Amino acid sequence: MAKPADLPFLRQVLLFRDIADPELLALWPWLQERRLRAGEVLFREGDTGSEMFLIRSGSVVISKRVTGRVEQVLARFGPADFFGEMSLFDRLPRSATVQADTDTVLLGLTGDNLDRLIESSPRAATAFFYQLVQVFIKRLRDSGDLVAEVTRWGLEATGLDIEHTSPG
């Protein structure tokens, strides 16, 4: 038996804030619950995937392999955050590893179920995609800032000061 729709939770997820209750109620059965224990890996960088996840409770750590077994933590996400959305569109290998930081309950949305949302409610899909684009933009800007910071660290570590380096 399906659990009753948790509209207050879905309202906390940025992607669903502007979607009307009837569409959220229709979407709820397509979200598949997944439970992770603290320390359990949901997927690793390079794994295939076609599903994004909403964090209903708990928290996860997103990391990227730097070299060998060294990983850089990119983000920590908690309740009402989401991740894995790139795989809904590009079907390419996962770009990072996701591991439960605490016992965590996730709700998964597959590409097929997103297609159902698009077909059944174009208005809800438009609101979803608008918010998703806003998140993509913010994450892209944050990534650009991180690249600039890492580059600065590298330049400082080598003693190279590009502002005072004479040409030629």
Please check the confidence at residue 38 and state whether its pLDDT lies above 90.
yes
pLDDT at 41 over 90: yes
Name the helix (H) or strand (E) containing 67: strand 60-67
- What is the predicted pLDDT for the residue at 77? 96
| Structure confidence at residue 110 (pLDDT) | 92
SS3 category, 24: helix
For the question of whether the overall pTM of this predicted structure is more than 0.85, the answer is: no
Give me the amino acid identity at 121.
S
Q: Say yes or no: domain 7-135 is CATH 2.60.120.10.
A: yes
Q: What is the pLDDT of residue 162?
A: 59
**E strand segments, 82-146:** 82-83, 97-100, 104-110
| For the chain, percent of residues with pLDDT exceeding 70 | 92
